[in-house]
Each structure stands twice: as structure tokens, then as C-alpha cells.
Structure 1
């Protein structure tokens, strides 16, 4: 979930002032020219340091190493990773602070419901945030995008938090123009297009579902908005979405994959491959039971020293890796097709489309499971499974505020407390579903 605009600005200023920022960019640039063997040596060197740090300073790992009888010094190679426990979202629902290596005040907090309906809390250091941005900037450079492009941003950030009718807002010092993903409509489009063209974006960045809503509105008016690239993340894209974005924005679609937990990053290259970023994290692929052609992505990040997560199960699955090397020539491993977040688009009471609706769940902490269902346009039900000591009333109030913020006024919101939320046929819990109202 995106933080408030004033905090985004603070994070951006911190990134720009971070003393190791240029060194990180230099290191990342060198890494893309390294051989596969050199990359593995880099990963193993970072892994050894991070394991020792976690074992000495993290309450969770200190207890785990002692209880399991594993010597942290025995974790030396990628093959030794299997000695460490597999982690999943359940470890971050309650008491995530036990993973902290740095004092909590030296980290930034984030929440997410992801694809699982379990709201997790994670921490990241300013250094890891800078490193992530530098990793993305390296990917953008493959498409001749400058490292600080003028970006038209369509995610959960709201340019009009006070409800004053503002369509866009430029964040000082960030070169970003915010457009609400939840207030796009034909009525506002002429004024919105004027403001976007005055800003003259070099890239469009955000959720594919939000970007395609804007692209559809522009195409209906016969408008095009050429940019250097369309930068996407957070959702699996359809062929129709890709085609529409390329048609309206006349640029390549630069997709990257990641998680709020920041354990793995991967992304598209200019030659059409989809690569792991091995200096960002170590990727393991665990076979999915009952499916010979699917593997679960398990990640060990190498950058977030304040909140280490070893062998974290993302819940996302991939198909087989491509067997041929990528024409781009980089030694970064290729990933198969990712089966990540897929959500039904909701509809507001006034007919507006609502992309990626699980954003209203991201800060409902303390719940073991949570799901939002659309029963009819503008009619939403939250299904809550309380965790130990959860304040259900507080969660309900926060949910109402989130619906007001993202979906707008005049929506109908109801709640149902459950012992367990029904799963899909594949056994997974979807965070946001569109259903028919019960008769």
C-alpha cells in the first residue's frame, strides 16, 4: 500500500541524499556485465554476511539457530540454504518485529494483503529502498529511459486526499505526476489530458489495470500519448492490456516483478527475456505439488540488512524456465511465466471502474485472513477472520475509511466475521472477488 504523499516525498528526499546511492548504481552497473560464476560468488559472499548478522541480532533467527542446532558459520554456499527454515506470510502476520536486526525507528514500515488475504507487516531500511530504486533504474536504462524520468504515476496514491476536486498533483523533487487510479472517467478526461500534456511525461508508471483504464479513455477520444516506456508492476497482464498500452502510449512495456516483502525482483529486458535480478536476491524454485509444470518462487533478499527474510515463500508460481540463453547477453537467470496477482476489477456506485481493489485491505492488520467481495456495483462485503487479540471494530472502521478514500463516497459496506474464508478450486484465497448478491 502506498504511504501518504507527504511521506512519499520524505522517502524520495532520503533516497536522493543517501550517501551510498552512487556507489550502489556503480555496483549494479558492473554486475550486469559479470559472468554467472562471478554472480554466484557475489551472492554467497553477501549471504554469509547476512546470516551471521541475523543470527547475532535478530530475535527470531537467534532463537531458531539455537533451537535447530545449526551453526550460522555453516551457511556458506547457495547449496547450504536448505539448512535454513522456509518462511511464509504467516510468520509476518504476528510479531514481525522479531525479524528486525536494526532498531525499528531506523526502518520504514509497509503492509500488504498481496494475493493471499493475509495482511503482513514488513520493515525495510532506507538503504534497501535506495538499492531497489537503483535496481529499477538499471532495468529502465536497458530501454533508454533516464534514471529520473518525468513519470505519470497511476497507483494507489491519491492526488486529492482532501476531496477538493484536484485531478493531478506533482510531487516536489520527484518528477512524478500523481493521477488517481480510482477516479478516472470520461467527464474528467479533457481537463486531465491537458494537465498530463503540460507535464509532458517521459514514462507512464503504475498498475496495468489502472494504466489500461486511462488508455481506454484516451483511445475512445482518438488520443495517443507517446512516451519512452510504460513501466508496470503488481499484476499479471493480459495480451489485450499489453496491446492497448503499446497502441496508445507508443512505447515498450517494461514490466517488473516484486513483493512488499522485497525478497525477489525480476523484470523484462530489451530483448524480450524476463530475468531474475540476482544481486537483489537469491531465487529458489520449489516444485508445486500436483503440478509438474509449476514452481513456487522462494526468495532470499541480499539488500535489506535491517529485516532479513531467508527462504521466503512468495506464493507466486512460475512455469518452466526458457532453455535458450537470452539475446541480451546478460548472465542473469531467466524466469518462466509468472502466475502472480490476478484480481477482479470492481465497480463503484456511480459506475466507475475500480482497479486492484485489494488495496483497501492492505492496512487491516491483526487479522488472520481478510477478503473483500463485490456483491453488486457499489456494494462490498469484507470477510474477516480475526487473529489472536485482533481489534475487529478497529479493522472495520479502517476498512470504511479505505473504501471512502479509494472507492469514493456513497458505497455500501458490510462485514462478516468468519472462522475461515472459502478457497478457490486451487486451494488459494483470493484477496478480492466479484460475486453475485445472495438471493
Structure 2
């Protein structure tokens, strides 16, 4: 197990065997074809319950309701949400524990730098994880993927970084893990043999990782027909989508989410991209200077131990409010194109492609911002803006450990303390990027 990373097999067993999973699945199946009024009643019923437990047990909300002299019983409908304050990533950077309703020992921490380079920590209950899986399995079912489907997973998977095999079977989970950090020509035959022996229904993971594997297969003249290509965590390019379809042949089933789990959306079989309104209440707020854009603001409806209301994700979406109903017949709202996580692929010292490299800084603590920059293949700089609990020596040690574990030994990495991060894209600071030649020369 990598340092600082929890055992995934335990979580898989917990999600599969949770006693509420059948109830959640039936409820979500009913809401899948519900009319707008029924969906709204469900949202408001959950909202009222979450507000009441938060006002009583969450230190942040208990103090807020008391200081503002707002009676939590007065928040009963979606229209009443506007009474509550907008939360930002800064709230979770400074004091995530203040939002906890349950003891932290009964939840697990989720950390990510997301799209902004601002490391956030959120907490998840086992029930919220089970609910999320049920929501995703419902979406996959729209494309004919059965519940409990055998899936090849390419989502980081650091087990191979210490020199182990590039694939790993997760007992009882119907998962074959393929390490995103071991996609090399030397491993392609072993990966191909393992996938064919596994006989998966679908492949799931980061688009950049799946595209790298698809490119390797195509170069060898290999095809691997599957029922679906399940993607998330990144915005994929048209070229990546076409390559994955060419090699794996199934439909691309994409979904959008974030570490804080305050909103989820995904594609349907008719080509629409829907908000999952039974997962969260999503507000689309205007973006200054962009009449066609909206910011996604989410209120979770499933994470009872760590409720977040009106959380600003920082992600923007094309406004399609004037678009008609989706041909699929569902009444979940439609979204346009989402500006999500876009990162450059890095290159290791030995020439391997390293997709989604910001995973190196995802678990760093005591920071306000963090970013990893590639100066040259195999040469990286981690830039950090210290927070209130910053420990320079511990951070440097964790960075070195993460780079060795995820990218492989033999990489150069330096830690640099800065007052702010650079490398913006469309007004956002990227959590990872490849430095331009002019930037490298000017250092």
C-alpha cells in the first residue's frame, strides 16, 4: 500500500455488502423516471433533514444559525436555499472538521487538488459512498452495463510503481486494476492478456490513461470490444474520444463529479448530459463577464456525516437552459459542456507517459495551494503556498515519497515555497502543467 493511501479492497467490500444498497437502488430506479414535481419533493425532503442535523451537530452551521438568528425550520424548500451562505474551497482548506456531523472515525477522508491547485479535504460516510455507486450503476445501466459488471480500472493505481506487475485483480470487486503509471511497451502484452482473461464488460478510468492504453493497443494492431468506456475526472479531447472508440468500440459513458461530492452529472444514451438531481441540488449561478456561462454550485443530498450547502465548485458550464427536453425522456436537467479538470500529461525519466500527474500533490496537507510542474522529462518542481499547519520537512519528505511511488524512482524533484501559483488557464490556476521553454530558461 502506498504511504498515506487507504486500502481500496475494504471500501469495495463495504460498498458491495452495505445493507442499504438494495433500498437505494430501488429508490433511484423510481426517481429515474419521476416527473419534476416528484424529484423536487425528494430534494426538499432531504434538504430539510440535512439542515436540521447540520444546525444541531455541525460546529460551522450551529454557529452560523445562532449568529445569523435563522431558524433552521424555516428552510423548507429549494427557494429557501438562498438564505444560506455560499461556501468556497477556502472553507474546506481552513477548517473542514467544522462541517462534520459524524465523528471523523466513522468516515474516511477524501483529498484532492482538483482543478485549482487548492488542496481540499472532505469526509465521506460509507452510506454516501454506497449511494454514489448506486447512482453511477444506474447511469451505466442506461448503456446496458449490468450491476456488478466486471470492469478494467485505470485510475492511478500506484501498486505497480514499486516494480510490481502492471495489473492487479481486486478480489470480490470484479475489478482488474491497470496501473496508469505502468503503461509502457514492455507491459502491453501482459496487460492485453490479463484483460482478455478477465473478460470485462467495460473499461473505466481517466480519459488520458485509457487513451494511452488505446494508443498502445492500436500500435500493436489490437482491438478489445467492450460494452462501455466509462470516463471521469478530466475533460477529454475529441481525439481521445475517437481513439478510445476505435480500440474498445463501446460508447463513451462520461460523468462529472468532484472530491467534495456536491454535484454529479453524466451522459445518457440519447446524447444528453444530465444533472443527477437525486444526488444533489445544483444551482447554476451567473459568471461575471460571461453571459453564456454558469458556475456549478452544489448541495449534497446523501453525505449525512459531512453536509455541504451551496458549495462553489469553481467549475463552469455552458448555459443550455433554453434547450428542450432530452429524447431519453428523463426529467433530470440538462447541462452543456463543463470546464473541468484539464491537465498536461507528464513524461517520466524513462519516457513513460504519466497521466493526471496532480495526484502527486493530492494528499499533501498544511497547504493553501499546491502545484506540480514539469521542467523537463523526469524533472519536476512542486510549488506550495504554505497554510497554517505547514511543515516544510514533512512536506518535502511526502513529495519525494509520492514521486518515487507514483512516477517511479530516478526522477528529479524539488520543493519550492511560493507566495502564489502561476500557470493559469482561462482564469484558473492549473494543479499541474508542463512549463514552456521560456519559463524554464527564465528560472
Band the TM-score falls in, shorter-chain normalisation: over 0.9
In 1, Cα distance between the equivalents of 2:388 and 2:138?
43
Post-superposition Cα deviations, 1:58-78, rounded to whole Å, max 9, x if no partner, equal: 000001111122111111111
Question: Could you tell me whether the CA contact under 8 Å between 2:423 and 2:433 is conserved in 1?
Answer: no
In structure 1, stretches of 5+ residues that fail to align are: none
Alignment of 1:66-77 (within 5 A): 66-77=66-77
Q: 1:438 aligns with which of 433, 438, 441?
A: 441
Question: Which residue of structure 2 aligns with residue 351 of structure 1?
Answer: 351
Q: CA RMSD in A?
A: 1.4
Question: Which residue of structure 2 aligns with residue 41 of structure 1?
Answer: 41
Once superposed, which parts of structure 1, at least 4 consecutive aligned residues long, lie more than 4 Å away?
2-6
Does residue 362 of the first structure (1) align with residue 362 of the second (2)? yes
Shift of residue 406, structure 1, vs aligned partner: 1.1
In 2, Cα distance between the equivalents of 1:82 and 1:265?
21
In 1, Cα distance between the equivalents of 2:406 and 2:208?
15
In 2, Cα distance between the equivalents of 1:415 and 1:15?
38
Question: Which residue of structure 2 aligns with residue 106 of structure 1?
Answer: 106
For the residue of structure 2 that corresponds to 1:259, the secondary structure is coil
Larger CA deviation: 106-115 vs 12-21: 12-21
Larger CA deviation: 59-68 vs 419-428: 419-428
Does residue 152 of the first structure (1) align with residue 166 of the second (2)? no
For the residue of structure 2 that corresponds to 1:216, the secondary structure is helix
Post-superposition Cα deviations, 1:311-359, rounded to whole Å, max 9, x if no partner, equal: 0001110002161210000011101110100011111111111101100
In 1, Cα distance between the equivalents of 2:167 and 2:376?
29
Shift of residue 81, structure 1, vs aligned partner: 0.6
Shift of residue 5, structure 1, vs aligned partner: 8.0
In 2, Cα distance between the equivalents of 1:241 and 1:4?
32
In 1, Cα distance between the equivalents of 2:386 and 2:5?
30
Shift of residue 416, structure 1, vs aligned partner: 1.2
Question: Could you tell me whether the CA contact under 8 Å between 1:58 and 1:100 is conserved in 2?
Answer: yes
In 1, Cα distance between the equivalents of 2:108 and 2:190?
36
**TM-score normalised by structure 2 residue count:** 0.96
For the residue of structure 2 that corresponds to 1:29, the secondary structure is helix
Cα pair distance change 1:364/1:6, threshold 3 Å: closer
Question: Which residue of structure 1 aligns with residue 143 of structure 2?
Answer: 143
Question: Could you tell me whether the CA contact under 8 Å between 1:345 and 1:357 is conserved in 2?
Answer: yes
In 2, Cα distance between the equivalents of 1:362 and 1:198?
33
**TM-score normalised by structure 1 residue count:** 0.97
Question: Which residue of structure 1 aligns with residue 309 of structure 2?
Answer: 310
Question: Which residue of structure 2 aligns with residue 276 of structure 1?
Answer: 275
Shift of residue 3, structure 1, vs aligned partner: 9.5
Question: Which residue of structure 1 aligns with residue 265 of structure 2?
Answer: 266
Question: Which residue of structure 2 aligns with residue 200 of structure 1?
Answer: 199
Q: Paired residues, what number?
A: 437
Shift of residue 419, structure 1, vs aligned partner: 1.2
Question: Could you tell me whether the CA contact under 8 Å between 1:256 and 1:265 is conserved in 2?
Answer: yes
Shift of residue 428, structure 1, vs aligned partner: 1.7
Post-superposition Cα deviations, 1:112-142, rounded to whole Å, max 9, x if no partner, equal: 1101111111101000000000000000110
Cα pair distance change 1:401/1:227, threshold 3 Å: same
For the residue of structure 2 that corresponds to 1:137, the secondary structure is helix
Question: Which residue of structure 2 aligns with residue 297 of structure 1?
Answer: 296
In structure 2, stretches of 5+ residues that fail to align are: none
Alignment of 1:12-91 (within 5 A): 12-91=12-91
Question: Could you tell me whether the CA contact under 8 Å between 2:367 and 2:389 is conserved in 1?
Answer: no
Shift of residue 405, structure 1, vs aligned partner: 1.1
